Amino acid sequence: MTKQTVQHRVERLIRPEIRALSAYNVPPATGMVKLDAMENPYSWPDAVKQAWLDKLAQVEINRYPEPQAQAVKDGLRRVMGIDAEFELLLGNGSDEIIQILAMAIAGEGSCVLAPEPSFVMYRMIATFCRIDYVGVPLDSRFDLDLAAMLAVIDARQPELIFLSQPNNPTGNLFSIEKIRRIAEASTGLVVVDEAYTAFTDTDSLHLLKDYDNVLIMRTLSKVGLAGLRLGLLVGRPEWLGELEKLRLPYNINVLTQASAVFALENFELLQQQTQRLRTDRAELLQALQALPGLQVWPSEANFLLVRIIEKPVIEVHEGLKQAGVLVKKLDGAHPSLAGCLRVNISTPPENALLLDALQPLLA
Ligand SMILES: Cc1ncc(COP(=O)(O)O)c(C=O)c1O
């Protein structure tokens, strides 16, 4: 078959909206200071690592995983204080949970609503599933534009609304009163995505008691287990029982299950690391605010949103890369992110490397 014929078939078979997409871009990072993906930079002490490896050695890799991953769910309930009246659904990262939710509501004329800028996968997965997506711009303080959100709810009654709390990539918390108003007005599901909950004092689990259309989504990625791919959805059994039918069998593999159980038994270690990052976030914020030509927003997550005011952001992004520091360029992703970069909070030496690399680029 010639190359041309293959291309012809691709164009005939693959939906135009899929061909128009760009694949989720993960730049090569070997040897770089990696400040672009909201990972926890800390590893485990050798003794803990060895105890983990001992557990993994007992895993029966020739067997399918325990389908419900019950021990993982028990551990999550314990560390997160999840009430017995609510059910849990586990995903291969919370990305997979977004996909499960989208598949559950996809149908003629169905609609997903999210504020913008926010997590890009809400829009992407809606597109994958042929669901209309409505993005409502955040207000000038990056809070929810309640009137605009309510107007879309009134006009479209979206089946699914995603609210990232705190929000990625702006780092702030939305007003809880506005979230409540949205939950009250919506006849669809409101998913509060608490991917960054470990880095803030607030917590939305209490909303589950007040609203029967709210679900809470979390992940272990940001607290130090990004490599595991484990996300969870918490909510009323009536919802989760339906969503469970869309979960692929054995989506949580044996190595993830054993590692997650182990990590949840040692959760204090991850909490200490998170606490450290929160302390260092305050220092990095201050240090960045002291640099000329930068606008930096306070953050309730493990990253900071930074706007380069006096230099072309592409030059600064490229200059950082040349200096071995990888950060996320957000410029171009949304009008309100013009000139913006997103930088991870990391270890003090890596935060210092960022500052050292950034300073001459701003001069
Ligand atoms: C707001 C938000 N939700 C969900 C995710 C997905 O996390 P994961 O699939 O690693 O669980 C991310 C990752 O960046 C995120 O920022």
> Does residue 302 have its Cβ closer than 6 Å to ligand 1?
no
Confidence of residue 27 (pLDDT cuts 50, 70, 90): confident
Please indicate, yes or no, whether residues 113 and 86 belong to a single structural domain of this protein. Answer: yes
- Assess whether pLDDT exceeds 70 at residue 227: yes
Cα–Cα dist 194/202, whole Å? 10
Domain that holds residue 187: 62-265
CATH code for the domain of 177:
3.40.640.10
Contact (CB, 8 A) for 260 and 234 = no
Domain-located, residue 53: no
pLDDT > 90: what percent of the chain? 94
- Assess whether pLDDT exceeds 80 at residue 60: yes
Please indicate, yes or no, whether residues 32 and 106 belong to a single structural domain of this protein. Answer: no
- Please tell me the distance between residue 142's alpha carbon and the centre of ligand 1 in angstroms: 19
> Does residue 258 have its Cβ closer than 6 Å to ligand 1?
no
Domain-located, residue 51: no
Please indicate, yes or no, whether residues 260 and 278 belong to a single structural domain of this protein. Answer: no
Position 192 scores a pLDDT of 98
Position 150 scores a pLDDT of 98
**Average pLDDT along the chain:** 96
Place of tokens 């993994």: 56
Please indicate, yes or no, whether residues 161 and 72 belong to a single structural domain of this protein. Answer: yes
- Assess whether pLDDT exceeds 70 at residue 327: yes
Question: Mean pLDDT across the stretch 49-56?
Answer: 98
Confidence of residue 159 (pLDDT cuts 50, 70, 90): very high
Position 363 scores a pLDDT of 85
Question: Mean pLDDT across the stretch 324-329?
Answer: 97
Please indicate, yes or no, whether residues 86 and 17 belong to a single structural domain of this protein. Answer: no
Domain-located, residue 205: yes
Model-level pTM greater than 0.85?
yes
> Does residue 96 have its Cβ closer than 6 Å to ligand 1?
no
Please indicate, yes or no, whether residues 232 and 286 belong to a single structural domain of this protein. Answer: no
Of 245, 265, 285, the last residue of a domain is 265
Position 331 scores a pLDDT of 97
Question: Mean pLDDT across the stretch 323-344?
Answer: 97
- Assess whether pLDDT exceeds 80 at residue 308: yes
Please indicate, yes or no, whether residues 159 and 251 belong to a single structural domain of this protein. Answer: yes
Amino acid at 27: P
Please indicate, yes or no, whether residues 294 and 175 belong to a single structural domain of this protein. Answer: no
Domain-located, residue 130: yes
Question: Mean pLDDT across the stretch 78-105?
Answer: 98
Domain-located, residue 162: yes
Domain-located, residue 54: no
Question: Mean pLDDT across the stretch 285-294?
Answer: 96
**Which atom of ligand 1 approaches the CA of 91 most closely?**
11
Angstrom distances, CA of residue 152 to CA of 53, 92, 159, 173: 50, 31, 12, 21
Question: Mean pLDDT across the stretch 9-24?
Answer: 90
Sign of CA dihedral 163, 331, 277, 324: positive
Burial label, 234 (beta-carbon count in 10 A; 0-12, 13-18, 19+)? buried
Of 209, 242, 265, the last residue of a domain is 265
Q: Which of 230, 145, 158 is nearest to 190 (CA)?
A: 158
- Assess whether pLDDT exceeds 90 at residue 103: yes
pLDDT > 70: what percent of the chain? 100
Are β-strands 294-296 and 231-235 bridged in parallel, bridged antiparallel, or unpaired? unpaired
Q: Which of 94, 118, 229 to mutate to test the pocket of ligand 1 (most atoms within 8 A of CB)?
A: 94
- Assess whether pLDDT exceeds 90 at residue 4: no
Tokens at residue 14, please? 């693959």
Other CB atoms within 10 Å distance of the CB of residue 92: 18
- Please tell me the distance between residue 360's alpha carbon and the centre of ligand 1 in angstroms: 32
Question: Mean pLDDT across the stretch 289-312?
Answer: 97
Please indicate, yes or no, whether residues 256 and 278 belong to a single structural domain of this protein. Answer: no
> Does residue 93 have its Cβ closer than 6 Å to ligand 1?
yes
Q: Which ranges of the chain would DSSP assign to H, the alpha helix? A: 3-13, 16-19, 46-57, 70-80, 94-105, 120-128, 146-156, 176-185, 207-210, 237-244, 254-265, 267-289, 313-322, 348-362
Confidence of residue 2 (pLDDT cuts 50, 70, 90): confident
- The tens digit of pLDDT for each residue in 184-208 reads 999 999 999 999 999 999 999 999 9
Tokens at residue 336, please? 């309100």
Position 309 scores a pLDDT of 96
- Assess whether pLDDT exceeds 80 at residue 24: no
- Assess whether pLDDT exceeds 80 at residue 216: yes
Confidence of residue 35 (pLDDT cuts 50, 70, 90): very high
Position 1 scores a pLDDT of 65
- Please tell me the distance between residue 119's alpha carbon and the centre of ligand 1 in angstroms: 7
Position 320 scores a pLDDT of 98
Please indicate, yes or no, whether residues 174 and 152 belong to a single structural domain of this protein. Answer: yes
- The tens digit of pLDDT for each residue in 122-155 reads 999 999 999 999 999 999 999 999 999 999 999 9
Please indicate, yes or no, whether residues 233 and 97 belong to a single structural domain of this protein. Answer: yes
Q: Which of 219, 220, 234, 330 to mutate to test the pocket of ligand 1 (most atoms within 8 A of CB)?
A: 219
Position 22 scores a pLDDT of 84
Domain-located, residue 52: no
Of 220, 246, 265, the last residue of a domain is 265
CATH code for the domain of 353:
3.90.1150.10
Please indicate, yes or no, whether residues 145 and 260 belong to a single structural domain of this protein. Answer: yes
- The tens digit of pLDDT for each residue in 169-180 reads 999 999 999 999
Position 21 scores a pLDDT of 87
> Does residue 193 have its Cβ closer than 6 Å to ligand 1?
yes
Domain-located, residue 306: yes
* Overall number of domains in the chain: 2
Question: Mean pLDDT across the stretch 212-236?
Answer: 98
